[in-house]
Structure 1
Amino acid sequence: MTLSTQIMTDEQRKSVALEYLKAFDHGGVTSSGGSILDLFSVDAQVYFPKWGLADGHDEIGRMFADVGGTLKAIKHHYSELNWIFSGSDLVVVEGTSHGEHRDGPWRAGAPDWAAGRWCDVFEIRDWKIHRCFIYLDPDYAGQDTARYPWLAEEN
């Protein structure tokens, strides 16, 4: 963990988180043409369900390649984001998305139980993401229904 040297406002932290989401929508490329990894501190941690915890740029890059390699397209719904600020370095954003996974398309709310709703918890300081824990259903195409009796009955 590094020492914090720059005071950031909640709006500045929000701008970093938005840049991260937009980079995902553009294949890992930021608005300045850089890599999404440029948004992270060198010792950052990222958690993704069914992948686990990635430490540092190399592991985060591998995680993003693994997860991103299953996605043909993704679009976050920016106008519907809910932001929670802690008064510290923590920022929580809840939102929806749609896109296409290699197993098929998804859209939040279609159906209500399927993928597309997510929540990210960020720790952002010194204009870098130091921690990003991603909470969502990684079954984007909604194929894992047999293990859930209430879903199996619908199909």
Structure 2
Amino acid sequence: MIKIQVQPFSALTTTQLYSILQLRSEVFVVEQDCVYQDIDGKDDKALHIIGYKDDKIVAYTRVFAPGDYFELASIGRVVVVKSERKHSYGYDIMTASITALHSHFKTSHIHISAQCYLKKFYNTLGFKATGKEYLEDGIPHMEMIYKQ
């Protein structure tokens, strides 16, 4: 099990921010071989959901209030360190993200832009595909909605 911490951007330490950006770059740019602008000017509006194992960040998402990114609340930059994926930390960090949206913004109506190969993963969490597949930064994605 990982220890989850929820923080606004203003509360992140320099070390936390560096570790988060390093993890996002490691997975989204290097592992997925995708050149894109990860630092998009939106982190300061997000709540950051950070999963720790032995004081090391191993899982992460950022979540947005309704209207701050999409019309609905949203979860993005879902990432788990490659060597730790066998522990199902993706489920832990996503469950914590859904809970954070509910407790901080009083909503359980959530929009995500999901990589298509993860459709089954998101389905098990209660997300449903809402449209056609599309390319985002050269990677097939689909819109999915969670409503409880």
In the superposition, the TM-score normalised over structure 1's length comes to 0.30
Give the number of the structure whose residues are more often helix, by fraction.
2
In the superposition, the TM-score normalised over structure 2's length comes to 0.31
Structure showing greater radius of gyration is: 1
